[in-house]
Structure 1
Amino acid sequence: MSNFENLRLDSQLCFALYTATNSITRLYRSLLTQHELTYPQYLVLLVLWEKDGVAIKDVMKRLKLDSGTLSPIIKRLQTAELITKVRTDEDERIVRLYLTEKAKEIEPEIAEVQNKVVCQTNLTHSEFIDLLNSLNTLTESLNAKGEPQPIAKMA
């Protein structure tokens, strides 16, 4: 048995985030399967529903994915006739992704998936927004450049 309270599994932020991520991803997976979508495909569609015609490199940056991970996702979305790839005339190295009519038609159904996920969390709207903001702040802090900040002792 450890003499250090901060070495308890229940004290680990990484474990709490890991288990929450697994739970929420399983929930999304079960809801998205009904629409023949995977969670990563859903994320790509979210980016395009926000702004159609996004360059692949910008999708990679937004989702924090490398090309080796994103390429098969894009291929499957093309096969499902949900997106198309178009090289730009001004620079053929730039490839943009566009939603098909089929993808635009399923957007309201997929929006309902997010509503179901929110309901499953049993959080109030305010708690949900606070959690989302806290997680975004945490991500920004951990990805910030510069020297690591001193670690505060847990209460």
Structure 2
Amino acid sequence: MSVNWSPNAISYSGNNRTHSIRIPESGRFELRLADGAANPYLLPAALIAIGLDGIEHKRDPGPRYDNNNYTDQLPPGKVKPLPLNLLDALRCLEANLILPQALGQELVKSYLKLKHQEWHNYSSRISPWELENTLDC
């Protein structure tokens, strides 16, 4: 079996672990994207803020998908893509109007400053792959 599922898209389902969000029963929600690198305080706070905004403004979460993403992947364009790197994610946060209001302008501004510096430090280095494949010295 080949695995075609991409973690770079967001979709939700019921009791199906091949989607990024799983809602197996009423009152239960599982975000399958977060990992150990996520801030254990900011992630839940952001989820609650976005969730409350969705409830207040009756936002449509889009269709629920029950396909097996490992064997029956959705066609491109059916699900919303996630940022592919930290810089793209920071740009999404900069455009977000909900989180600065919910978490505080200063917190989001400081977080963006810190993470932009991390991106700069990361992107200013030459990786072993770049050394091996792009330099003709």
Shared fold (TM-score, shorter chain, > 0.5): no
Higher fraction of helix: 1
Larger radius of gyration: 1
TM-score, normalisation: structure 1: 0.28
